[in-house]
Amino acid sequence: MSVLVVGSLALDSIETPFGAVDNTIGGSAVYVAVASSYFTNPIRLVGVVGGDFPPEGIAFLERRNVDLEGLQIVRDGKTFRWAGKYQYDLNARDTLSTELNVFESFDPKIPEKYRKSRYICLGNIDPVLQLKVLDQVENPRVVICDTMNYWIERKGKELRQTLERINVLILNDSEARLLSREPNLIKSGRVIRGMGPTVVIIKKGEHGALLLTEQLVFSAPAYPMESIFDPTGAGDAFAGGFAGWLARTDDLHEENLKKAVIYGSTLASFCVEKFGVEGLADLTYLQIQDRFRQFRELSRFEED
Amino acid sequence: MSVLVVGSLALDSIETPFGAVDNTIGGSAVYVAVASSYFTNPIRLVGVVGGDFPPEGIAFLERRNVDLEGLQIVRDGKTFRWAGKYQYDLNARDTLSTELNVFESFDPKIPEKYRKSRYICLGNIDPVLQLKVLDQVENPRVVICDTMNYWIERKGKELRQTLERINVLILNDSEARLLSREPNLIKSGRVIRGMGPTVVIIKKGEHGALLLTEQLVFSAPAYPMESIFDPTGAGDAFAGGFAGWLARTDDLHEENLKKAVIYGSTLASFCVEKFGVEGLADLTYLQIQDRFRQFRELSRFEED
């Protein structure tokens, strides 16, 4: 099964306590596409870049079997740029600058051959754009959607329209509390499921993730990282791993949703081990399976 | 195997968003003793109360098979009193008043027949008192110790002496960071193990707990509570459940340490469902095992 990924492509400048990189390729669509590419292919990408997007970036995506027919390249425009700096504990980050550039007028156009995609992953972008994507696709099996506090606060009404049309919402704990106005995460998940998605995944950073459905509460552990090199893209890598596994297996039973959450966590854990997308650049499927098993060891205990 | 429990006995006045109780029996030794009593007996308690400690409190402990030979009763003194109020989200609490009363001059005396106890659980009290206990016991197999930020900040030197003589330290995430001066919890556990205990358990409230040994990182989930009635004593109930299970099985292998953490989490989850010790008052072993299984369901996923 292919996955249609829609989101941002960017040139990121990142500073962490461990170093800095300038103008490295990033953006939600890049992380989601690359992470999901380890599970299924082709990955179909819809996004926009300027003429300054490096040819190596394009080559990297092509090497990962990402179909770029849906990538708009505005030759005389500049790519979206983001610069950020992480604090010592890597939980807080300051955005130093944001230049939307060609992303400001991004109008997602879904190529004809993408429209019947069964799995759709809507990266963390304006819910108005997410809705435009949903208007162009035909009867997808699963729509997975990421969002953030920025959109919850500024485009609440549009986000609620998106939520009515998706199956899986992925967001972090503070975003879940903000969206649901409910501090208890279990209740928060129920409130959000009432807004549309039948599956809600609440990411809790160093504390793992919760998968919440009508019947199920599943608590996924976090991989015990001793040093997180660069948290950028971890949430998108999670979404990509989750979506990629579901598309690979095309199985929506709860046991398989749990596995998808662990594969999402696996890809996120690789992502933060290096700068930018480098952590996702050269994985083998064996490495991914090995870490999946480590996740299992981490939380497994015997019956009594 | 019996467990020797040393800690405070108190009369607590607790206010939460769900109600209030006045002068209900509490204190670390009470919660630890009652929680561990579901797994093994007798539980041997060392502590002090005043003449105002209610006979029903004594009767309750006796009903739970708690041996009170080590309980000092100061007839003309008053029991330690604590009053606290929890905020809306139950994570923050304000201490409204503390009257140490007879606890101020508490000098733990370990009765002769308690001195060969193989399992010892040192409740969250002044590390000077914890050391006095350790000076009076003979070659215990396992010493489990609880502490808190108050002692880390005020009795750091004495606490370090205690740590050199214990096997298992139980503390929460902010306390682990404070004691180790290390924000990463995995590294923090290693730093604390360097201070003495071979096993460190870091409680993370709604995010579960980490069990850290030289070889092992085990991530225990939190029970998905929709409404926490009263968090008082949850940490002590955890320590009691953990100690009780270990004493019952007398097995220190890692697989059994993991189970002990889940039994600790189980008792803590019952504790917070009602006010004060009420949540621990009338459990059956079947209920406990049933919740243990729920913990397993919560975090179990299939191999791939």
Inter-chain touch B208–A219, beta carbons under 8 Å? yes
Residue with tokens 């990402």: A66
pLDDT tens, residue by residue, A229-267: 899 999 999 999 999 999 999 999 999 999 999 999 999
* pLDDT band at A227; cut points 50, 70, 90: confident
Residues of chain B positioned with their CB less than 8 A from the CB of A204? 207
- Inter-axis angle of helices B28-36 and B254-271, to 10 degrees? 120
Cα–Cα distance for residue pair B109/B143, rounded to 1 Å: 17
CB-based contacts of A291, cutoff 8 Å, min separation 6: A223, A266, A269, A270
Chain A nearest-CA residue for B188: A226
Chain A nearest-CA residue for B173: A207
- In terms of residues, how long is chain B? 304
pLDDT tens, residue by residue, A161-200: 999 999 999 999 999 999 999 989 999 999 999 999 999 9
pLDDT at B81 over 90: yes
Residues of chain B positioned with their CB less than 8 A from the CB of A254? none
For chain B, give percent helix, strand, coil, nearest 5.
40, 25, 35
- Provide the mean pLDDT of chain A: 96
* pLDDT band at A17; cut points 50, 70, 90: confident
The B43-50 sheet, strands edge to edge? B66-74, B43-50, B3-6, B119-122, B142-146, B168-172, B199-203, B209-212, B217-220
| This prediction's pTM | 0.94
DSSP 3-state assignment of B278?
A: helix
To the nearest whole Å, the CA of A156 is away from the closest chain B CA by 24
Residue pair A228/A196 in contact by the 8 Å Cβ criterion: no
Cα–Cα distance for residue pair A5/A48, rounded to 1 Å: 12
Between B304 and A271, where is the model more confident?
Answer: A271
pLDDT at A32 over 80: yes
* pLDDT band at A89; cut points 50, 70, 90: low
Inter-chain touch B299–A186, beta carbons under 8 Å? no
Q: Give yes or no for A251 touching B (CB within 8 A).
A: no
Q: Give yes or no for A218 touching B (CB within 8 A).
A: yes
* pLDDT band at A98; cut points 50, 70, 90: very high
The B10-16 sheet, strands edge to edge? B19-26, B10-16, B80-86, B93-99
What pLDDT is recorded for position B89? 67
Q: First vs last Cα of chain B: how many Å apart?
A: 40
Mean local confidence (pLDDT), B278-294: 97
pLDDT at A63 over 80: yes
From chain B residues 197-216, the ones with a CB under 8 A of any chain A CB are: 204, 206-208, 210
What pLDDT is recorded for position A92? 76
pLDDT at B273 over 90: yes
Inter-chain touch A89–B183, beta carbons under 8 Å? yes
pLDDT tens, residue by residue, B136-178: 999 999 999 999 999 999 999 999 999 999 999 999 999 999 9
Percentage above 70 pLDDT, chain A: 99
* pLDDT band at B18; cut points 50, 70, 90: confident
Inter-chain touch A186–B226, beta carbons under 8 Å? yes
Query: Which of A174, A207, A295 is best to mutate for the B interface (most B CBs within 10 A)?
Result: A207
Chain B nearest-CA residue for A216: B298
pLDDT at A100 over 90: yes
Point out the residue among B217, B225, B293 whose CB comes nearest to the CB of A298: B217
To the nearest whole Å, the CA of A285 is away from the closest chain B CA by 12
Inter-chain touch B88–A183, beta carbons under 8 Å? yes
Point out the residue among A255, A259, A301 whose CB comes nearest to the CB of B262: A301
pLDDT tens, residue by residue, B218-263: 999 999 988 888 999 999 999 999 999 999 999 999 999 999 999 9
Inter-chain touch A299–B218, beta carbons under 8 Å? yes
* pLDDT band at B210; cut points 50, 70, 90: very high
* pLDDT band at A220; cut points 50, 70, 90: very high
Mean local confidence (pLDDT), A40-49: 97
Inter-chain touch B208–A207, beta carbons under 8 Å? yes
- In terms of residues, how long is chain A? 304
Query: Which of A193, A204, A219, A223 is best to mutate for the B interface (most B CBs within 10 A)?
Result: A219
Lowest-pLDDT choice from A12-21, A44-53, B30-39, B90-99: B90-99
Q: Tell me, what's the ipTM?
A: 0.89
Chain B nearest-CA residue for A257: B301
pLDDT at A91 over 90: no
Lowest-pLDDT choice from A101-115, B187-201, B222-236, B237-251: B222-236
Inter-chain touch B218–A303, beta carbons under 8 Å? no
**Nearest Cα residue to A270 out of A90, A40, A31, A89:** A31
Q: Give yes or no for B22 touching A (CB within 8 A).
A: no
Neighbour tally for B157: CB within 10 Å: 7
From chain B residues 98-157, the ones with a CB under 8 A of any chain A CB are: none
**Nearest Cα residue to A170 out of A115, A243, A255, A114:** A243
Point out the residue among A185, A259, A296 whose CB comes nearest to the CB of B206: A185
Mean local confidence (pLDDT), A84-96: 82
- Inter-axis angle of helices A285-299 and A254-271, to 10 degrees? 110
* Cα distances (Å, whole numbers) of residue B166 to B121, B130, B145, B192: 10, 10, 7, 12
Mean local confidence (pLDDT), A127-135: 98
Point out the residue among A225, A226, A298 whose CB comes nearest to the CB of B218: A298
Inter-chain touch B184–A226, beta carbons under 8 Å? yes
CB-based contacts of B241, cutoff 8 Å, min separation 6: B35, B36, B38, B39, B260, B263, B264, B265, B266, B267, B268
Question: Residue B73: enclosing H or E segment and its boundaries?
Answer: strand B66-74
To the nearest whole Å, the CA of B183 is away from the closest chain A CA by 7
